Chain A
Amino acid sequence: MTQPADQTKTKPILRMKNLNKRFGGVQALKDVSFDVFPGDVLGIIGPNGSGKTTIVNSITGFIKPTSGKVYFKDKDITGKPPHKVADMGITRTFQIMRPYYSLPAYKNLVIPLFSPRAKRTGGWRGGGNLGNRQTIAIDILEEIGFERDSYIPFKKTSTLPTGYLKRLELARCLALKPEIIICDEIFSGLSMSEIASMVPLIERLQDEGITIVMIEHRLRELFQVANRVMVLNFGEKLIEGTPDLVMADEKVKAAYFGSKEVEEVMTYA
Chain B
Amino acid sequence: MSSQHARKERIDRGIKVRSDGLYALMSLRELSYLTLPRFILIAGMMLLPVLMPDMYWQRVISIVCIYTILAISFDFLAHYVGLVSLGGAFFIGTGGYTAGILNTYFGLPPILTVPLAAIIGGLICTLMLLPCLPLKGVYFAIITLMYPLFMARIIEAFDIFGGTDGLIGIDNFSSAFVEQYLVVAMVLMFLSGIRRFVTTDMGLIFTAIMDNDQAVKASGINIAKYKALAVFIASAMGCMAGACLTHIYMWTGISQFALDFSILPIAATVIGGSGTLIGPLLGCLILVPVSELLRDFGTLRIVFYASILVGFILFRSDGIMVFGQRKYEQFERWTKI
A133 on interface, CB distance cutoff 8 Å: yes
A103 on interface, CB distance cutoff 8 Å: yes
Asked if residues A100 and B218 are in contact (CB atoms below 8 Å), the reply is no
Interface residue from A82, A113, A114, A133 paired with B218 (Cβ < 8 Å): A82
B37 on interface, CB distance cutoff 8 Å: no
Known: A83-B223, A100-B208, A103-B208. A91 touches B202 (CB 8 A): no
Residues of B within 8 A of A99 (CB): 211-212, 215
- Interface centre among B205, B216, B219, by most chain A C-beta atoms within 10 angstroms, is B219
B8 on interface, CB distance cutoff 8 Å: no
Asked if residues A117 and B218 are in contact (CB atoms below 8 Å), the reply is no
Asked if residues B212 and A176 are in contact (CB atoms below 8 Å), the reply is no
Q: How many residues of A contact B (CB 8 A)?
A: 31
Interface residue from B201, B215, B217, B218 paired with A110 (Cβ < 8 Å): B201
Interface residues of B in 179-225 (CB under 8 A from A): 201-202, 204-205, 207-208, 210-212, 214-223
Asked if residues B217 and A91 are in contact (CB atoms below 8 Å), the reply is no
Name the residue of chain A whose CB is nearest to the CB of B219.
A112
Known: A83-B220, A114-B221, A176-B219. A94 touches B214 (CB 8 A): yes
- For the complex formed, measure the closest distance between the CB of A140 and the CB atoms of chain B, giving whole angstroms: 13
Residues of A within 8 A of B201 (CB): 110, 113-114, 133
Residues of B within 8 A of A60 (CB): 218
Name the residue of chain A whose CB is nearest to the CB of B210.
A102
Interchain Cβ contacts within 8 Å, total number: 80
A107 on interface, CB distance cutoff 8 Å: yes
Residues of A within 8 A of B215 (CB): 94, 98-100, 111, 172
Asked if residues A86 and B220 are in contact (CB atoms below 8 Å), the reply is yes
A81 to B205, CA, bound (A): 18
A175 to B221, CA, bound (A): 13
- For the complex formed, measure the closest distance between the CB of B203 and the CB atoms of chain A, giving whole angstroms: 10
Interface residue from A81, A91, A111, A113 paired with B216 (Cβ < 8 Å): A111
Asked if residues A114 and B205 are in contact (CB atoms below 8 Å), the reply is yes
Asked if residues B208 and A111 are in contact (CB atoms below 8 Å), the reply is yes
Interface residues of A in 92-121 (CB under 8 A from B): 92, 94, 98-103, 107-108, 110-118
Interface residue from A62, A103, A115 paired with B219 (Cβ < 8 Å): A115
A187 to B219, CA, bound (A): 21
A86 to B214, CA, bound (A): 12
Residues of A within 8 A of B207 (CB): 100, 102-103
Name the residue of chain B whose CB is nearest to the CB of A91.
B218
Asked if residues A117 and B220 are in contact (CB atoms below 8 Å), the reply is yes
Name the residue of chain B whose CB is nearest to the CB of A61.
B217
Name the residue of chain B whose CB is nearest to the CB of A60.
B218
- Interface centre among A102, A107, A108, A111, by most chain B C-beta atoms within 10 angstroms, is A111
Interface residue from B212, B214, B220, B223 paired with A87 (Cβ < 8 Å): B220
- For the complex formed, measure the closest distance between the CB of B276 and the CB atoms of chain A, giving whole angstroms: 14
- B interface vs A, CB < 8 Å? 201-202, 204-205, 207-208, 210-212, 214-223
Ordered by A's residue number, 27 sampled pairs between the chains whose C-beta atoms are within 8 Å are A62-B214, A81-B217, A83-B217, A83-B219, A83-B220, A83-B221, A83-B222, A86-B218, A94-B214, A99-B215, A100-B207, A100-B212, A100-B215, A102-B207, A102-B211, A103-B204, A103-B207, A103-B208, A108-B208, A110-B204, A111-B221, A112-B220, A114-B202, A114-B204, A115-B220, A115-B221, A176-B219
